Amino acid sequence: MTASDYQRLAREVVDPDVWDFIEGGAESERTLRANLAAFDRFRLRPRVLTDVSTVDTAVSVFGTRYRTPVGVAPTAYHRLVDDEGEVATARGAGAAGALFVVSVFASRTLEDIAGAAGSGLWLHLYWFRRREVMAGLVERAAAAGFGALVLTVDAPRIGRRWRDMRNGFAIGGDVAAVNIDAAVMALTHHSDEGRSAIAEHAAESFDAAVTWADLAWLRQRTSLPIVLKGILTAEDAALAVAHGVDGIIVSNHGGRQLDGAVASLDALPEVVDAAGAAVPVLFDGGVRRGTDALTALALGARMVLLGRPPLWGLAAGGADGVEGLLRTTTEELAHAMALAGRPRLADLDRSVVRARPGDER
Ligand SMILES: Cc1cc2nc3c(=O)[nH]c(=O)nc-3n(C[C@H](O)[C@H](O)[C@H](O)COP(=O)(O)O)c2cc1C
Ligand SMILES: CC(C)CC(=O)C(=O)O
């Protein structure tokens, strides 16, 4: 019935180290908790007598129409929780009419995922030291019909995720980031207590020297829209627009990077104000129910993406679980829109929300 039901079912079937990898955040997980708590500091202002006999959740981004503004954020290695991995996620997202942002660390090939997709796919990238790896992925994404590139910019290093470090977390079994040269990925399989293998791998392979000026390199290589993921400030939103990016995702990586970073929802208004109408602003971090989605959309997000919940759906029920999770969240959103007296996404603006009494700033 709810995302928390999928979470409970998933926990029963997922290996404990993998569960910690999915659920965990950086260090003391302050930002992870803040992402969830932020929604509770807003209250909704319902309007009445507005004809809500039809509620429409359809939305267009970069010329593609989606049946729902609730999409799937990029998350690595879906085969850790389901044999079919991202192919099942693509089928589930397609059945729900939702955007699926595929992680560069997907455990199925881009071509297999594209073959299973029934709705739009975007490809997420990290900035690798080996630019030929990036160039190759950009070309393959375009050839496979991906609709945009999402460059994640909040991870020059991987956050200190204590759970993964204590577990000596490594990518096990036959799960692998199959879209990247196996030699580049070898470190991710090496388990060592006190260290996270994925963090060690990132330290080796991510380029921490990239700056705004380097975006031109990517721009030259693709005509696909470029979206920056991991923007939390008005300053960076303005720089993103000035550097010609096509979209922004407000995100703190689900509390997995800088512990103590601002809750994603609290960063949304200033980013929307700075980006103006120039580019679509998407949002992720802590969305667990339709009313959360409504709040973020009211604060200016064009779409909201879910990170952990689709993995719960996938673990609990494969493609059907992903579809069920996305449909449930979308139905909850439609329900909330009706009860709030705003039956179209275009009706959602800041008048829908107010600070919870006592929390006014
Ligand atoms: C298991 C897991 C793997 C993730 N992998 C990636 C990734 O490969 N690239 C990326 O940009 N973000 C990654 N993220 C972050 C998500 O895209 C997203 O920002 C975050 O999970 C949103 O918060 P939520 O989980 O509260 O919905 C990952 C998150 C999780 C939980
Ligand atoms: C393999 C990881 C680097 C993927 C990621 O971004 C994450 O776990 O948050």
pLDDT in tens, 258-268: 999 999 999 99
- Catalytically active residues, by annotation: 253
| Structure token digits, residue 149 | 């590139």
pLDDT at residue 360 tops 80 = no
Ligand 1 within 6 A of CB of 308: yes
CATH code at position 66: 3.20.20.70
For residue 223, is it within any domain? yes
Measured between alpha carbons, how far is residue 255 from residues 263, 277, 302, 318, 337 in Å? 8, 27, 21, 25, 28
Among 290, 265, 283, 285, which Cα is nearest to 2's? Answer: 290
- Which residues sit in the known binding site? 74-76, 103, 126, 152, 161, 229, 251, 253, 256, 284-288, 307-308
Cα 234 to Cα 250: distance, rounded to the nearest angstrom: 11
For residue 306, is it within any domain? yes
- Which residues sit in the known binding site for glyoxylate? 126, 161, 253, 256
Contact in structure between 115 and 88 (CB atoms under 8 Å) = no
For residue 357, is it within any domain? no
Cα 101 to Cα 184: distance, rounded to the nearest angstrom: 22
Gap from CA of 304 to ligand 2 centroid (Å):
19
Tell me how many helices (H) and strands (E) the chain has. 14, 12
pLDDT at residue 56 tops 80 = yes
Gap from CA of 256 to ligand 2 centroid (Å):
8
Residues 87-94 have a mean pLDDT of 98
| Residue 205, beta-bridge partner list | none
Measured between alpha carbons, how far is residue 80 from residues 106, 162, 357 in Å? 10, 20, 43
pTM comes to 0.98
Cα 124 to Cα 229: distance, rounded to the nearest angstrom: 9
Cα 181 to Cα 54: distance, rounded to the nearest angstrom: 49
For residue 354, is it within any domain? no
Task: Give 125's pLDDT tier (boundaries 50, 70, 90).
Answer: very high
pLDDT per residue over 217-255, tens digit each? Answer: 999 999 999 999 999 999 999 999 999 999 999 999 999
For residue 195, is it within any domain? yes
For residue 266, give the H/E element and its range: helix 264-275
Helix, strand, or coil here: 248? Answer: strand
* CA-proximal residue: ligand 2, atom 4 (nearest): 76
Cα 286 to Cα 308: distance, rounded to the nearest angstrom: 9
Cα 21 to Cα 240: distance, rounded to the nearest angstrom: 30
pLDDT at 193: 85
* CA-proximal residue: ligand 2, atom 3 (nearest): 198
Contact in structure between 215 and 135 (CB atoms under 8 Å) = no
pLDDT at 357: 87
The terminus-to-terminus CA distance of the chain in angstroms comes to 35
Contact in structure between 214 and 125 (CB atoms under 8 Å) = no
* CA-proximal residue: ligand 1, atom 7 (nearest): 75
**Crossing angle between the packed helical segments 290-298 and 30-39, to the nearest 10 degrees:** 90
pLDDT at residue 361 tops 70 = no
Ligand 1 within 6 A of CB of 31: no
| Residue 192, beta-bridge partner list | 195
Residue 177 CA, closest ligand 2 atom number: 1
Identify the weakest region by mean pLDDT among 149-153, 191-195, 211-215, 342-346: 191-195
Q: Which ligand is nearest to the CA of 312?
A: 1
Helix, strand, or coil here: 258? Answer: coil
Measured between alpha carbons, how far is residue 256 from residues 22, 51, 73, 102 in Å? 10, 42, 14, 18
Cα 222 to Cα 136: distance, rounded to the nearest angstrom: 11
What CA dihedral angle connects 30, 35, 39 and 41, to 10 degrees?
30
The residue range of the domain holding 104 is 3-344
ipTM above 0.90, yes or no: yes
Number of domains in the chain: 1
Contact in structure between 322 and 72 (CB atoms under 8 Å) = yes
Task: Give 358's pLDDT tier (boundaries 50, 70, 90).
Answer: confident
Q: Which residues line ligand 2 (CB under 6 A)?
A: 76, 105, 155, 158, 198, 202, 253, 256
Gap from CA of 76 to ligand 2 centroid (Å):
6
Among 91, 82, 111, which Cα is nearest to 315's? Answer: 82
For residue 249, is it within any domain? yes
The mean pLDDT of the chain is 97
Share of the chain above pLDDT 70, in %: 100
* CA-proximal residue: ligand 1, atom 15 (nearest): 253
Q: In a 10 Å sphere around its CB, with 0-12 CB exposed, 13-18 middle and 19+ buried, how is residue 275 labelled?
A: buried
Gap from CA of 75 to ligand 1 centroid (Å):
5
**What amino acid is encoded at 175 in this protein?**
V
What is the best residue among 256, 259, 264 to mutate for testing ligand 2's pocket, by most ligand atoms within 8 Å of CB?
A: 256
Residues 132-140 have a mean pLDDT of 97
For residue 270, is it within any domain? yes
What is the best residue among 14, 308, 322 to mutate for testing ligand 1's pocket, by most ligand atoms within 8 Å of CB?
A: 308
pLDDT at 40: 97
For residue 187, is it within any domain? yes
Ligand 1 within 6 A of CB of 175: no
Residues 44-65 have a mean pLDDT of 98
Q: In a 10 Å sphere around its CB, with 0-12 CB exposed, 13-18 middle and 19+ buried, how is residue 242 labelled?
A: exposed
pLDDT at 190: 87
Among 33, 36, 113, which Cα is nearest to 74's? Answer: 113
* CA-proximal residue: ligand 2, atom 8 (nearest): 76
* CA-proximal residue: ligand 1, atom 13 (nearest): 75
Gap from CA of 285 to ligand 1 centroid (Å):
9
